[in-house]
Structure 1
Amino acid sequence: MSIITFVGAGQMASALSFPATENGHEVRLVGTHLDREIIETAEASGFHPTLKRQLPNEGIKYYQIEDVELALDGTNAVLCGVSSFGVDWFCEKILPLIPDSVPLLLVTKGMIALADGFMITYPDYFISKLPDGKKLSINAIGGPCTSYELADKDHSAVAFCGTDIEILRRFKKLFETSYYHISLSTDVVGVECAVALKNAYALGVSLAVGLAIGTDGSGKEHYNSQAALFGQSVKEMKHLLEIINGGAENIIYGAGDLYVTIFGGRTRKIGTLLGRGFSFEKAMGELEGITLESIVIATRTACCVRRLAKRGMLQLSDFPLLMHVDNIINNGAAVDIPWTSFETEKY
């Protein structure tokens, strides 16, 4: 049996308690300062109020953030369960507490934009934030997997990525089950970029849902337009992977994650509202209190693409959907899908 300390009691981290405890490991679920109610409710009843599932009856111990050092005592692995909005908090408050011998696995998906136009993965960003002299093995999860369906034990296929294949194999043994299938990759840039980009493009595909439903909500959802935007999304994502020297095979994780994201959740909601004609401000108002990583990654990616275009490393015309999504979010543009920009001629 191993002890795995989960810091962050959000939906995905909490869903991962199912395969971990089924494999006989002890999960120590630590809530951040934003998770107090989750920890209180789960400890009292076993029910997770945002995942809306009963957590495993055995194998979980619950901790508030003040007891994080106790939860880390004797642990064999740590899982970072915060969203992209909590990354800097985790780097400042938690990274210094993790022993160098204990590997870290991130559920957080996203990239950090640098001033030179490039983006770095969260594992690389975490490494850059380590205190002087401290060394940690920092790894991440990518791929199409929603927290609800993982908790319901639907078959899910993901990738664990990191620089040390032996540590990845250790993580695989901790979490793999008959329904949670794990591939391993040392191409951290490729895996992380592929799954981060899906947030921006899922918003783009969801615009078609809103356009079909219409302003008054009486329309019928169509699939030709969604499929067309899905294909354009995969094309642009694959091109970005090539530019950053990520393995093209990683597009399977980005495309799979894109597929599952456009069927529901926060990103579909914001894209649908925008497609129905809501202004960005009004759409965000409708979703008040909901964190939207799609907005962050779309803005960061578009900024990165523009900077690279200025350096002559790519053409903005190769990313018409991304540029349109960015214009909607940051410039108040109305939804007007640039369909003709997607057309090509091949000889």
Structure 2
Amino acid sequence: MRISVLGSGGWGTALALVLLDNGHDVTLWSYTQEESDVLAAQRENPLLKGVPLPQELKLTAALDCVKGCGAVVLATPSFAVRSTARAVAPLLEPDTVLISVSKGIEKDTSLTLTEAIAQEVGNRFPIVALSGPSHAEEVGRHVPTVVVSASKDRSAAELVQDLFMNERFRVYASDDVVGVELGAALKNVIALCAGISDGMGFGDNTKAALMTRGLTEIARLGVALGGRQETFAGLSGVGDLIVTCTSMHSRNRRCGILIGKGTPTEQAVKEIGAVVEGYYAAATARALAQKAGVEMPITEAAYQVLYNGKDPRKVIVDLMTRKRRHELEDSWV
């Protein structure tokens, strides 16, 4: 199939290589001609060092590359997903499958990214979210990886399985788009918290607590917004949470480490040199939780540190001394 991947960051490039390995006709689009020229000259993405870009991979900065494509992968940062979808909508062939692989919640609308895409392209095209525990650096090196393809359109979700699956990249299908996207976006907030904990010199006990209770509040909000509980125990929930909270590939964790060591938030975000999705997701998740009437103490604590400059050590004390609770919220009822 002819496929265009929009966004030549590490993740878009890694997925383009998976598709190329599977025999598809793949074009990788860059936002600027300069970026595309660097890839063409070096035949390597600076974000995926040591991973060669085969000559068969087409490179361009022209959005008309989507013409004639059976599938288009949107791999831009979350803040650019809507504008990119709007720009390509008039160029798409009927029934082109749109595959959203970015992770985040739209800042101004609190919509998931597939919802933002749908607002721009209407109901003319099937939309699929592809997510799960997947560092671009490892996918580019052919490390075995398993993700989930979610869509309200079963045939579209299964088509994405067929497009991407091989002996090193396995894809499960799901119809819980809300759960998959929220798990993917909200885990970035917890990863920032895990990094802050690491930066302050806390240990495995603290990180395990943050991850476990963080997953609880992610699922609590996700279910309130229409997701299914079991999705958060799957690849895009606990799976993505584990990989993002424990790896130095994670920009969110690295940013958190800097903050935990005393670097001001804005400086830490800048030092990472790429989008730190958890920083933006903390504000959006907090707004969603308040609107839905859902308690998210770790997310609230993250917001206070990131946006109000609260001392992380004071925040930890506040979390540890909250009113006692039952772990299972409906126990002894």
Query: What stretches of structure 2 of length at least 5 have no aligned partner?
Result: none
**1:232 touches 1:342 (CA, 8 Å); kept in 2?**
no
**1:211 touches 1:276 (CA, 8 Å); kept in 2?**
yes
Q: Secondary structure at the match of 2:63?
A: helix
Partner of 1:62: 59
Q: 1:170 to 1:323 in 2, by over 3 A?
A: same
Partner of 1:126: 117
Quote how far apart the aligned CAs of 1:6 are.
1.0
For residue 254 of structure 2, what is the amino acid of its counterpart? K
Quote how far apart the aligned CAs of 1:88 are.
3.0
**Cα deviations by residue, 1:257-307 (Å, 9 ceiling, x for unpaired):** 1111121232112211222233323433544x4321111111100111123
C-alpha separation in 2, matches of 1:342 and 1:44? 59
Quote how far apart the aligned CAs of 1:182 are.
0.3
Greater mean deviation of Cα atoms: 37-46 or 120-129: 37-46
Alignment of 1:206-245 (within 5 A): 206-212=195-201, 222-245=203-226
Partner of 2:106: 112
Report the TM-score when normalising by structure 1: 0.86
* Residue in structure 2 matching 1:344, options 322, 325, 331: 325
Quote how far apart the aligned CAs of 1:68 are.
2.3
Partner of 2:237: 254
Report the TM-score when normalising by structure 2: 0.89
Quote how far apart the aligned CAs of 1:48 are.
1.0
The yes-or-no answer on 1:325 pairing with 2:302 is: yes
* Residue in structure 2 matching 1:297, options 262, 281, 284: 281
C-alpha separation in 2, matches of 1:238 and 1:96? 37
Partner of 1:81: 75
**Cα deviations by residue, 1:64-83 (Å, 9 ceiling, x for unpaired):** 2xx321x2232221111101
Q: Secondary structure at the match of 1:120?
A: coil
Quote how far apart the aligned CAs of 1:45 are.
3.2
Partner of 1:269: 254
Alignment of 1:150-161 (within 5 A): 150-161=139-150
**2:66 touches 2:88 (CA, 8 Å); kept in 1?**
no
**2:127 touches 2:156 (CA, 8 Å); kept in 1?**
no
**1:113 touches 1:301 (CA, 8 Å); kept in 2?**
no
Q: 1:99 to 1:270 in 2, by over 3 A?
A: same
Identity %: 26
**1:6 touches 1:81 (CA, 8 Å); kept in 2?**
yes
Q: 1:240 to 1:258 in 2, by over 3 A?
A: same
C-alpha separation in 2, matches of 1:343 and 1:205? 22
Partner of 1:43: 40
C-alpha separation in 1, matches of 2:323 and 2:57? 50
Partner of 1:141: 130
Greater mean deviation of Cα atoms: 257-266 or 171-180: 257-266
Partner of 1:6: 5
C-alpha separation in 2, matches of 1:343 and 1:151? 45
Aligned length in residues: 320
Q: 1:245 to 1:136 in 2, by over 3 A?
A: same
Aligned residues: CA RMSD: 2.0
Quote how far apart the aligned CAs of 1:234 are.
1.1
